[in-house]
Every structure is written in C-alpha cells, then in structure tokens.
Amino acid sequence: MGAEAAAALMNRLSADYNATVPSSTPHFYSWDTLGPSPITPKTGAFSIGRPSGGGPALLTLNSYSRTTVDFAASTQAPPYMDPPTFKTVVLGKDAVTWSAKAGGHAPANLTTQDLYDIYSCALGKTNWAAFGGGAGTIKPYLPQAGSDTRAFFLNAIGNPTLGACVVTGPQENQGTDPLLNDVDVIFPYSAGHWVGQANGHTTATDDKGTLTLRGINGIAPLTATGTLNPVFAGSTYGRVLYNVFRYSEWNAFPATPQSTALRAIFGSTGYLCSAAGRATVAGYGFLAVPAATCGT
C-alpha cells in the first residue's frame, strides 16, 4: 500500500518475489490505492480503511502494528523524528511533470513561474494563449487529497494559494478519467508511471489515455526513446521511490523473523535490489538506482 505512482510496480515485484520462495517463507503483498474499502491487509489484521496514497499509508503504518501492516510505499520521505519512528529505504527514481491532452491547446513547455500562476488562477494567466498555446480557458486539475504526486508537484512549483479555477478530483496518474479528456486541461503526472503505462503496464482504470507529458523550464521529461529523462529526474522535479518501515522493526537486534524477511525483500541484498528487481523497476518506467544505493 502507499504511493499510487508505484502501485503497478509493487504489484509486479511482489508477484515476482513470491514466485522465487517456498510457501513456508513469508510472502510479500501490496495493496492498490483504489478498490473496495475497508480492507484486511493480512490474516489476523485489523480491518482498516484503504489508504488512498502515500500520505495516508504512512499514517496507517504509524497507527497500527506489524500484525496489520509492515511497510508503506512512498515518494516522500517521512518527517524526521527523534527518536526515529520510520526507516526509509530507496527503490528507484521518479519525476513529476504536467500533462495535457494530445492535440489540445497547451504548449510543449511551461516554466515553474507559469505553473505557479496557472494554479493561482492569476489575472491574465488563465488562457493558454498567454503561454504560447492555442486560445482556450485553462482547466487546472489536481489529484485527490492525500496524493503524494499532488503534494510534491505543489511544493515544486512554490506552494501557490490555489485559485478558484482549480479542481480537485481525478485519481492521480489515471489519464482515462473523463474529466481529463479536454483540450484545455492541465494535470500533474508521475513521469515514471506514465512511461510504464506507455510500455503496456495498464489496466482499465490505470492508463495514460490521451494525456501527454510536457516539459518544465525547457527540460523534457522524456528522452528521445521515450524513457524517463535522467536530467529531468535530477532537477527539482525529481523524486525518490521509497519503501518505509517502522525503525524498530527494520533495525531489530538481535534480528527477528520479521526483520530478516523485510531485508530479504527490500534490503540492499534483497530481491527488489537484485538485478532482476532493478530491471523490473526500469521496465515499469522508473530509473533504477545504483546497486550501492538501492535498499539503503
């Protein structure tokens, strides 16, 4: 459970890992952000509301014990706490940009200031013609509350006071939402997740639809071959994919069956950081981090 941007990737990694271990070994399962609620994460667990993103998943991790949930996927590092509550380990790199309908009125590139003005609904900045695009009233959308992508994007553009023209509602990274099928729409999007969708990792409710990714400050989010651009991911619009655990459980001494199982899956020598795991990260659109960084 956790960040929607990583949901499809985590589902694939869990299936691949589970196929490598005997039934007697602890398995790895991940819950999507969308679906019926409440859920019972594992046998003997409390019934809980399905977390709708990375933020709610971290709250769930903090509110329940290991009998209910062991980890959360997140694209934002938890706040520093002393003594530490959480342990984060790195899985890969992502980036967030803005998207618009193919063939619509939006230009190919906007600056950070442009994005700030658009989401502020600033005077004179509510028509695409003001940014070199076609004439049309801009329709700024944001993902659901609790979305990591929403929080990251707004922080990256300067945390504007949202104007009355901004609409909250579509699920993050779901380009087939009917609200987004509009020539004047603008919507934040995980570049890595979009690449994964373009690579065919889609479902009926997890698809980029007609949305295409656009550049920021003159840097394209994609390379010429359609992969996530490392230069863009190295900018202020780049972010890290984390898996987050309770500090005391990850660092248990002496090691416990739970800490051993967690490290076998998520640690630097675990499956997710193996050559096979890192290849899956890249295949799902994200940038694999160096082996020395993964799982740390």
Binning pLDDT at 50, 70 and 90, where does residue 103 land? very high
Express each pLDDT in 226-237 by its tens digit.
999 999 999 999
The 3-state DSSP class for residue 59 equals: helix
Average pLDDT, the chain: 95
Position 133 scores a pLDDT of 98
Binning pLDDT at 50, 70 and 90, where does residue 55 land? confident
Q: Scan for tokens 């990792």, then name that residue.
A: 201
**Is pLDDT of 52 > 90?**
no
pLDDT over 90 percentage in the chain: 92
Q: Which of 110-114, 134-138, 144-148, 224-228 has the lowest mean pLDDT?
A: 144-148
Binning pLDDT at 50, 70 and 90, where does residue 78 land? confident
Q: Which residues contact 65 (CB under 8 A, 6 or more apart)?
A: none
User: Which is nearest to 175 in space by CA: 133, 203, 216, 139?
Assistant: 203
Query: Quick one: how far is CA 136 from the chain centroid?
Result: 30
**Is pLDDT of 269 > 80?**
yes
Backbone angles phi, psi at 37, to 5 degrees: -140, 140
Q: Which of 75-89, 115-129, 279-293 has the lowest mean pLDDT?
A: 75-89
Residues 1, 33: Cα–Cα separation, whole Å: 7
Position 84 scores a pLDDT of 83
For the segment 227-254, the average pLDDT, to the nearest whole number, is 97
For the segment 257-268, the average pLDDT, to the nearest whole number, is 97
What domains can you pick out in the chain, each with its CATH number?
A: 4-92+238-288 (3.40.190), 95-225 (3.40.190.10)
Backbone angles phi, psi at 136, to 5 degrees: 170, 135
Position 83 scores a pLDDT of 66
Binning pLDDT at 50, 70 and 90, where does residue 81 land? low
Angle (CA) 102 106 107, round 5°: 105
**Is pLDDT of 129 > 70?**
yes
> Cα torsion at 182, 178, 229, 6 (round to 10°)?
160
**Is pLDDT of 82 > 70?**
no
**Is pLDDT of 112 > 90?**
yes
Binning pLDDT at 50, 70 and 90, where does residue 79 land? confident
Position 172 scores a pLDDT of 95
Binning pLDDT at 50, 70 and 90, where does residue 295 land? very high
Position 260 scores a pLDDT of 97
Asked whether the beta carbons of 268 and 290 are under 8 A apart, the reply is no
